[in-house]
Structure 1
Amino acid sequence: MFTLTEVSSLYDAQTTFRILKPWWDVFKYYIARVMLMLAIFVGAMQLSKDQVLCLPETESLTETKMQTIHSSQYYSADDTTTSSGSRVSLVNSLTEQRESLSSSNTQEYTTITSEVENSGKNNQKGHKTYLDYQQYVFINQMCYHVALPWYSKYFPYLALIHTIILMVSSNFWFKYPKTCSKIEHFVSILGKCFESPWTTKALSETAKEETAKRKQRTNGALSIHKNISADRKKGSPMTSMLNNKSGSIPSAEKSAAEVPPVTILDKKDREQAKALFEKVRKFRSHVEDSNLIYKLYVVQTIVKTLTFIWILCYTLTFATSITFVHRCTPAVKHLTGYAVFFCTHNMAFMLIKLLISYIAFSCIYGIVCLYTLFWLFWRPLQKYSYKKAREEASLSDIPDVKNDFAFLLHMVDQYDQLYSKRFGIFLSEVSESKLQEFNLNDEWTLEKLSQHVITNAQNKKELHLSKLSGIPVAVFDLTDLEVLKLDSITEAKIKPKIQEMISLLELHLYYCQTIVEDTALNFLCDHLKCLHLKFIDERNIPSWTYSLRNLQELHLIHDLSAKTKMIAPGSLKELSQLKSLYIMSNLSKLPASIADVSSYLTKLVVQNDGTKLVTLNILKKMTNIAELELQNCELERIPHAIFSLTNLQDLDLKSNNIQTINEIVSFQHLHQLTSLKLWYNEITQIPSTIYHLKKLEKLYLNNNKLEILPAALFKLRHLKYLDVSYNSLKVIPPDVGHLQNLQYFAVTGNKLQQLPSELFRCTKLRSLNLGLNRITSLSEKIGNLVQLTYLDLKENCLDRLPSQLGQCHLLKRSSLIVEDHLFAALPSEIKDVLDCESDTTTFVNGT
């Protein structure tokens, strides 16, 4: 026998799931409990009291049947008399039983009744059956199994099975493996979200913002009220005295006092809230992919409804079979001498009453199930909108959810809507950004930021912040900061407090979604001089970039790893002070927006990723351009558009595919050109017309395919820097001695075996790069280069160094690049001179 506790445990769900039980599930829970107890009660009574009592029927249909009924109902073993009143009672009893018997036995009992009515006049004694007690017990048991209907015997067990089916159906979605894990996770997260201190703080901040807005709206009304009050006070001194004596609080102070206190979060609370945001994000992405929970709940509700219909149908069918009197015909005449027995079932009356109660509870249960189905199909439970919560909580970005996530929230709303409202805080990116900002400001204090401030190569104070959730507020307290670099900041919000950074001139934004408030933008427009932007798509360029009216230098760096084409930056018309424009991208033509600043732009740098730059006609409009760099643009010739840039001073065509430079003669019209960089190309020869570039001071031809240097090259008397490194030169012409102003000369990585003695007439040489050649000896005339500060002789075929190196007083050991054994072979006094420290700046790479 099962105890009530053991059976009820089948229905008990975990207490943590109570928030997912709407009122109808709770109502059905108690109804099922009542039905369960009813089934157990009937079963217990049936096991202890269920039995039938039977008496035999004689073969005579008149006096014998009358005597049998008289003896079984009213006679004892010694009493042989009966009163006429008892016979009347028996007649009435049999009349009632006739109504509950089947139609086949109605006629027989009518005959018996009539015989009983007539027998009172003729017979006053009952009929003995002469059966033993054991025979009566045997007949009772036989007739219990033969004559008693099966529903009378098995009703409590069927009721118990029905109730268990209903209970299992109610809890199946809590137990099914593919849904229980999601439900448990959801309930766990929901409870933590409800109890999280960040939830309270977020709601407090919202209430504070709403109070502030109401205060702003009422400022006008308050000012009018104060004016009226002042007028009244002037007119009535007594009123003024009364007002001063009363302890009333002004309305403005009251509104400020009504602002709820802000909850203070410690580090543990903030970390917990941060983890909750991540858990909610992952749970949402996991649960929104399917609607299994919704379907399972619908299926189990349908199963309960069908179970109710099944119970109702067959119970009503078999309920009429429960009667008090039954006619039994067991095949035991050879044992008892009687073939027919009449039996009474002592539990019939109780079973009928309990069955009616069970049907009533089943009907109530079924009606609730039908309502549940109506609710499931009437409302769109696979979508959940936070529209009302967005209005109340001032969090406009709380997203709408779908599928199982939406269904779970709908179920929670039936328990308490406050749960879903608080849960929505952790779906909001605005709320998450506020938490991140709170944590960021607490972690990055002014003291910590000051430790990260460095002095860069330009002798400017610089701060570099990378991969943070936002800009710490303490950054704006660094009033002496000149360069601010922000790299991969999730939400770079520049606040009006930036006005305190009066020294800020340069701003770097790498992969940052930047939001600038109006007051801060005004400050940047007035003070910012240089802006570096690195982005994946040109749409990531902030729109406020094009309104920085005092900006002088703009760097647009397109992330080439993103493999997206940069179309063009926006209009530059408002950048009236822009002097330098740097574009690092994969352009096929120069952006048309450059024409907006062509009249006052002095420097243009284009660094392509190897994409061929085709259209350059826009260069003709840049009349004031002084520096032009077209690097890695796959140019095959020098663009003709360059020849119209009369103010051009520095031209850099690095890393292109230029093979011939015959057009160089056209450079003679560029009277301001002093620097020409044709390095990292495919140039095989230098035309003799190069001598027309009489004002040229810097010429970079390194990393090409030159084999000879023409004599015309050495007619450039103003040439100071000449770099022909990493070519295929075997000889340096003696005409190199004509370059009396030469200060930097590099022939590293060629095939030189000796140097012309005329080279050492260039007494202004400060840097001489001769490494990676095949030079066998160094002339003693090296001592003529008294201004030499840097000498590279490494990886040559030298067997010694001339002692005249000691005459190069500015040359020191640190700037003498040579093998150690050659330096060790020098006289000791020469080594001592070279080892002396000097403050002279080393002149390397033409700088």
Structure 2
Amino acid sequence: MLRMGAMIPVTEFRQFSEQQPAFRVLKPWWDVFTDYLSVAMLMIGVFGCTLQVMQDKVICLPKRMSLPNETVPSQNTSEIMLDPTLAPHANFSPEPVVHEMKGLKTNLDLQQYNYINQMCYDRALHWYAKYFPYLVLIHTIIFMVCSNFWFKFPGSSSKIEHFISILGKCFDSPWTTRALSEVSGDNPEKKESKKPNLNISTLESNLEESHSLRSIAEKFVVDKPAARALDKKEGEQAKALFERVKKFRLHVEEGELLYIMYVRQTVLKVLKFILIIIYNSNLVPHVRMNVMCNVDIQDMTGYKHFFCNHTMADLFSKLSYCYLCFVSVYGLTCLYTSIWLFYRSLKEYSFEYVRQETGIDDIPDVKNDFAFMLHMIDQYDPLYSKRFAVFLSEVSENKLKQLNLNHELTAEKLRQRLQINSSNRLELKFFMLSGLPDTIFEVTELQSLKLEIMNNVTIPAAIAQLEDLQELSLYQCSVKTHTAATSFLRENLKILRVKFDDSRELPHWIYSLRNLEELYLIGSLSPDISKNIALETLRELKSLKILSLKSNLTKIPQSIVDVSSHLQQFCVHNDGTKLVMLNNLKKMVNLTILELVHSDLERIPSGIFTLTCLQDLDLKDNNLKSIEEIVHFQQLRKLTSLKLWYNAITYIPENIKKLGSLEHLHFNHNKIEILPSHLFLCNKLRYLDLSFNDIRFIPPEIGVLQSLQYFSVTCNKIENLPDELFFCKKLKTLKLGKNTLSLLSPKISYLVLLTHLELKGNHLEVLPAELRSCRNLTRSGFVVEDNLFETLPSDVREQMKLE
């Protein structure tokens, strides 16, 4: 046997069946069994090949043929030669006594015998008797390659390696133990000192009995992890595992390459088994010990007929029958595998038993190659699938994320992130987190909470600890609330901002916030319910005063009419969608601020004229060309701010003079060419913006506006400024940039309160020294070209720079 091993070592064939030890979890019992059968058949082939090499194949002797004139000694002669005492009684002439027995003389030397043996081995011996061990070896290698090919093929081996890697880490993760312990009723943080969990000992015994992943098993048995609180590092590792499992599932569920390869290699083994049984059964009888050999080599040896003995025929015959037995068992096992493959739905895998056993109801079923590998794992040990399923559960993932959040965002860190928002409240912002950290409820001074792009956020009952919380902002967040949390928000929330893209991001509980005062909604609210989100009734919002909608409305929803009687501010910022049917505005009798922005309005809505409490009207970015309806604004005696900016208005009607209460007027970004003098009869104006028009001349009547503090005519075509402009001595901001001015009057010195002056973009060549009288004007508030600034006296320049 040592010589045999030295000639053809079995280790040379190891590469055909060798795979990573971790891959054993994907080898069910039949694959393990057939591997052992392959080893037995391989030994038969190696043993036969070694005999072929080490021993003589056949031994041949020439067969003497009787010639007509040749006398063959009779039996009596032979007996006399053997027993000389019979000679006297024999009936023939006396011959010399032979005392030594001798065989037939062939007159052949050793080389001739070797030549005869080789010729007879090649020509007389049946091919099956000669090549039997090589056939066994080849067939066995093919079997071994078929059994392990899917572990070697690049397209499948990468998936398998990735799956085994993830499986091992999921099995070994402390989070798996914690999750399974929690659903079984154990509290991992309170029961550390109690008796070790029986599940752990069961897992250890299962691991020892089933010889699972070596590294996993050894670590699991040695470390004996108990259900305990995870530290930050373990939490991060488990979080990364969840992401890997998600990506792997998406990748593997797309195809069924592993399943197809395993089916094909199994079918190939069945077909090969049938082929081997058929031809071997017919050829085994041809392995005979005695063989007649007739070769025409008489001119070299003197003989033509030989009688040969196949020295290994008896052994080969027994080995062949033994080999057939092994192949039969191998083939029956493959047939069983084929039945398992074709009569079970292996491209779908249900975790129903895991859901029932663990109570984790959201574990999804899987399909295709992912399902097939889990079926294979179950044949090895179902425990792997159970522990792996923990990382498919969103509930489990959310619990882990919550744990990591609590580690990362402590109460002290959250206090450091507090800021004062535009409402002068202490605000805390969270962006793209997996949930709310429990530590936030320890920051009891919190007044405003802002959440952006956060999915499946749950607001627990613990929010009631934030007694000062009055403002909540939800930007693209899907939020669920505990019943107690909803009750708290209903009583305490004053301001709510919601930006949504779908119905899940518009919480249903907003309709019950009876103490809510301000509601800001950003999202699609078109009446086309099939494509957008319908706004339900706001009847319960009895305290609502401010409602702002950034949407694509075509009309005012009926749900808004339900709160119209107590609304004080109503803002619609459309996306360019035409807003029609505005008669419902009449019902907002207490409205003080109205904004209808970017709503493609061509006329001023008539419903506005009855809003006697209106103080601020903004019709920005519409399609207004004529504003003759402005005459009706004289009924709005409290109107102080009118914003008609970013439209297509070409002229200002004479009736503008009737709006005597106006203090702020915005006509910027229109197409106005002429400023009517009656505009300046609105003598209470403090803010007048006429920038970005086509105005060429400013009437001297502007001097009437003694309350004017802000005046802008930037980006027009003005060539000269009336001296009366400088009689508006309360002016603090004067914007004259981007015109065609060639001279700035020295009367600029009258504007002693001026803090901002813009002259850049004109044709000025020199600046008046009288600017020294504008002592509140600094260099930062003086917008002019540098070279033009240098024309000022040095003392004036220094004055502006110092201040």
Same fold (TM over 0.5): yes
- Residue in 1 aligned with 2:55? 48
1:733-764 Cα distance to aligned partner (Å, 9 max, x none): 23333334444433333344444444455455
Quickly say closer, same or farther: Cα 1:589–1:21, change in 2 above 3 A: same
1:58, 1:338 within 8 Å by CA — same for their partners in 2? no
| Secondary structure class of the residue paired with 1:748 | coil
- Aligned residue number for residue 197 of structure 2: none
2:243 aligned partner:
278
- The answer (yes or no) to whether the contact 2:289–2:309 under 8 Å persists in 1 is yes
The 2-side partners of 1:811 and 1:744 are apart by 14
Residue 482 of structure 2 is matched in structure 1 by: 517
Query: What are the superposed Cα offsets for residues 299-357 of structure 1, whole Å, 9 maximum, x if unpaired?
Result: 11111111111111111112222334444444466777776555554434333332222
Question: What is the aligned-residue RMSD (CA, Å)?
Answer: 3.8
Alpha-carbon shift at residue 147 of structure 1 (Å): 4.1
For the residues of structure 2 that align with 1:347 and 1:67, how far apart are their CA atoms?
36
Q: Residue in 1 aligned with 2:395?
A: 430
Q: How far is 1:3 from its partner?
A: 1.4
Q: Which residue type is aligned with residue 27 of structure 2?
A: K
1:596 maps to 2:562: yes
Contact 1:801 1:826 in 2 (8 A): yes
Q: What residue number does 1:293 align with? A: 258
Correspondence for 2:458:
493
* Structure 2 partner of 1:398: 363
- Whether 1:608 aligns to 2:574 is yes
| Per-residue deviation, residues 34-73 of structure 1 (Å, max 9, x unmatched) | 1111222233344426434657365599x999989x99xx
Corresponding residue number in structure 2 for 1:659:
625
**1:64, 1:651 → 2: CA distance?**
146
Q: Aligned match of 2:8 in 2, 7, 11?
A: 2
1:245-284 alignment, distance < 5 Å: 261-267=227-233, 269-284=234-249
- Pair 1:141–1:791, CA change in 2 (3 A): closer
Equivalent residue runs for 1:648-727 within 5 Å: 648-727=614-693
Q: Is the 8 A contact 1:547 1:575 kept in 2?
A: yes
Matched, 1:581 2:547: yes
Matched, 1:29 2:40: no
Q: Does 1:388 align with 2:353?
A: yes
Q: Which of 3, 11, 15 is the equivalent residue of 2:21?
A: 15
Tell me whether 694-703 or 777-786 shows the greater mean CA deviation.
777-786
Instruction: Work out whether 1:507 is the aligned partner of 2:472.
Output: yes
Comparing 313-322 and 668-677, the one that deviates more: 668-677
Match of 2:597 in 1: 631
8 A contact 1:206–1:393 mirrored in 2:
yes
Q: 1:181 Cα shift?
A: 1.9
CA drift of 1:628 comes to: 0.9
- Per-residue deviation at 1:537? 3.2
Q: Distance in 2 between the 1:65 and 1:361 partners?
A: 53
Give the whole-Å Cα distance in 1 for the aligned partners of 2:187 and 2:359: 8
- Asked if 1:362 is matched to 2:327, the reply is yes
2:421 to 447, 451, 456: 456
Any gaps of 5 or more consecutive residues in structure 2?
A: 1-6, 85-100, 190-224
Change (3 A) 1:18 1:741: same
Match of 1:544 among 509, 521, 526: 509
Counterpart of 2:272?
307
Report whether the alignment pairs 1:204 with 2:176.
no
Query: Given the superposition, is the C-alpha separation of residues 763 and 205 from structure 1 closer, same or farther in structure 2, using an over 3 Å criterion?
Result: same
Q: Distance in 1 between matches of 2:356 and 2:714?
A: 72
**Cα deviation, residue 393, structure 1:** 3.2
Does the aligned pair in 2 maintain the 1:752–1:773 contact within 8 Å? yes
Distance of 1:440 and 1:779 partners within structure 2:
65
Is the CA contact 2:766–2:792 (under 8 Å) kept in the aligned structure 1? no
- String of CA shifts for 1:519-568, please: whole Å, max 9, x gaps: 222111111111111222355312222222211111112389xxx97554
Change (3 A) 1:317 1:707: same
* Match 1:554 to one of 502, 513, 519: 519
1:373 deviates by: 0.3
> Aligned in 2, Cα 1:575/1:145: closer, same or farther, shift over 3 Å?
same
Taking the aligned partners of 1:524 and 1:419, their CA distance within structure 2 comes to 44
**d(CA) in 1 for partners of 2:491, 2:782:** 49
How far does the alpha carbon of each residue in 1:607-637 deviate from its partner, in whole angstroms, 9 at most, with x for none? Answer: 1222222332332332222211111112122
CA contact (8 A) 2:600 2:622 kept: yes
- The answer to whether residue 172 in structure 2 is matched with residue 195 in structure 1 is yes
Determine if contact 2:752/2:776 at 8 Å carries over to the other structure: yes
Partner of 1:234: none
Distance in 1 (CA, whole Å) between partners of 2:402 and 2:608 is 50
Q: 2:141 aligned with 1:164, yes or no? A: yes
Tell me how far apart the structure 2 counterparts of residues 15 and 77 of structure 1 sit (CA, whole Å): 77
1:257-311 deviation per Cα after TM superposition (whole angstroms, max 9, x unaligned): xx974242342x3333333223222222222222121111111111111111111
For 1:110-129, list aligned pairs within 5 A: 129=104
Q: Is the 8 A contact 1:530 1:551 kept in 2?
A: yes
1:619 aligns with 2:625: no
Which residue of structure 1 aligns with residue 152 of structure 2? 175
Matches within 5 A, 1:42-81: 42-46=48-52, 47-48=54-55, 50-52=57-59, 54=61, 56=63, 59=66
- Asked whether the equivalents of residues 750 and 772 of structure 1 are also in contact (C-alpha less than 8 Å), the reply is yes
Distance in 2 between the 1:594 and 1:66 partners? 136
- Contact 2:252-2:370 within 8 A present in 1 as well: yes
Instruction: Give 1:11 shift.
Output: 2.5
Task: State the SS of the aligned residue for 1:729.
Answer: coil
Q: Does 1:746 align with 2:752?
A: no
**CA 1:76–1:7 in structure 2 vs 1: closer, same or farther (change >3 Å)?**
farther
CA distance in 2, matches of 1:434, 1:77: 109
Q: Are the counterparts in 2 of residues 441 and 473 from structure 1 also a CA contact under 8 Å?
A: yes
Q: 3-state SS of the aligned residue for 1:607?
A: strand
Shift of the 532–129 alpha-carbon distance from structure 1 to 2, 3 Å rule, reads: same
2:702 is the alignment partner of 1:736: yes
Query: Which residue is 2:106 aligned to?
Result: 131
SS in 1 for 2:55: helix
Cα 1:76/1:741, change in 2 over 3 Å: farther
Task: Report the secondary structure of 1:426's partner residue.
Answer: helix
Alpha-carbon distance change, 144 to 495 in structure 1, aligned in 2, over 3 angstroms: same
Higher helix share: 1
With 661-670 and 360-369 compared, the bigger mean Cα shift is at 661-670
Question: CA offsets per residue over residues 136-159 of structure 1, 9 Å max, x none?
Answer: 776655544444433233222222
Residues 734 and 614 of structure 1, relative CA distance in 2, 3 Å threshold = same
Residues in 2 aligned to 1:820 and 1:339: alpha-carbon distance in whole angstroms: 125
- Separation in 2 of the partners of 1:813 and 1:338? 129
Equivalent pair of 1:778/1:802 in contact (CA under 8 Å) = no
CA distance in 1, matches of 2:690, 2:272: 96
Measure how far apart 1:128 and its partner are: 6.6
> Partners of 1:809 and 1:29 in 2: how far apart?
99
What is the alpha-carbon distance in structure 2 between the residues aligned to residue 172 and residue 76 of structure 1? 71
Query: In the alignment, what sits opposite 1:109?
Result: none
Query: Contact conserved, 1:649 with 1:672, CA < 8 A, in 2?
Result: yes
Residue type matched to 1:600 in 2?
H
Q: What is the rounded CA distance, in whole Å, between the counterparts of 2:779 and 2:289 in structure 1?
A: 126
- State the 1:813 CA deviation: 6.4
Distance 1:585 1:387 in 2: 44
8 Å CA contact 2:616, 2:641 repeated in 1: yes
Give deviations 1:704-730, integer Å, cap 9, x for gaps.
222222232233343333322332333
SS of equivalent to 1:414: helix
Structure 2 distance, partners of 1:692, 1:720, is 16
Over 3 Å counting, the alpha-carbon distance change for 1:64 and 1:174 in structure 2 is farther
Q: Is the 8 A contact 2:181 2:187 kept in 1?
A: no
- 2:92 is matched with none
Identity, in percent, stands at: 50
In 2, Cα distance between equivalents of 1:687 and 1:324: 127
The verdict on how the C-alpha distance between 1:143 and 1:762 changes in structure 2, with shifts beyond 3 A counting, is closer
Change in Cα spacing, 1:764 to 1:167, as seen in structure 2 (3 Å) is closer
SS in 2 for 1:599: helix
The TM-score normalised by the length of structure 1 is 0.79
Cα contact 1:67–1:127 (8 A) shared by 2: no
